[in-house]
Amino acid sequence: MKNNIKQILMLTMIGIIGFSTLTYAQNSYKLANSPDVSIKVLGSSNVHDWVMTSTAMESQGEFTFEGAALSALHSFKFSLAFTSLKSEHTSMDNRTYKSVNAKKYPTISYKLTSAQVSTTEKNKYLLKTKGELTIGGVTQPIVMGVTTVVNEDKTITCTGSEKIKLTDYGIKPPSFMLGAMKVANDLTIQFNLVYKNQTSLAK
């Protein structure tokens, strides 16, 4: 009788542990090698609008699931080389790199400090994030809304956009052509990022 009770208790504990593991699963995700991944910096000037795009970056984060539903995001970080941002005009790119002192501060980076997850519809979520964005050696807090989709292949797509000011990062809006072209202070960062589960690949 005592042995039966012990067996029942052991099975119950195993079931509880297994259920907890299944219900709350924290997985490490890394940026996927996908043609859909991109960062765009959109700006304007007194002459024309412009766009710089990068597809070369590094990013990873810890996503937590409650069953099949996304419930939390932890320890998220992102970085890219400033010179990976390219426009249609090489001369403008080179002048931009010089204006932001890309040789001394070659990397743009972001680190998450907190995130709140809310469900908008099945497999779709809104992440209200707070983090720190570093450009030109200057770090500023940034708040962003990130639209997140858990795809059928279990990858995670994160999209969004946020406006920043160059002067907030100690950068004087550059001018070109002897001052004939003056870049505006306001920029918009747009991102489309796809993440792949690294935890399942390691098993």
User: For each of the chain's 203 residues, which pLDDT tens digit applies?
Assistant: 545 555 544 544 444 444 444 455 789 999 999 888 999 999 998 778 899 999 999 999 999 999 889 999 988 999 999 999 999 989 889 988 988 899 999 999 999 999 999 999 999 999 999 999 999 999 999 999 999 999 999 999 999 999 999 999 999 887 766 667 788 999 999 999 999 998 755 44
- Tokens 């119950």 label which residue? 12
Q: How far apart are CA 101 and CA 106, in angstroms?
A: 8
CATH number for the domain running over 24-202: 2.40.128.110
Strand boundaries in the chain, DSSP class E: 24-31, 38-43, 50-54, 58-66, 69-81, 107-121, 124-135, 138-150, 156-165, 175-176, 181-182, 186-197
- Please state whether the predicted TM-score (pTM) of the whole model is above 0.85: no
DSSP secondary structure code for residue 65 in this structure: E
Q: Where are the alpha helices (DSSP H) in 100-181?
A: none
Q: Give the domain ranges of the chain.
A: 24-202
pLDDT at 182: 84
Residue 29's φ and ψ, nearest 5 degrees, are -115, 145
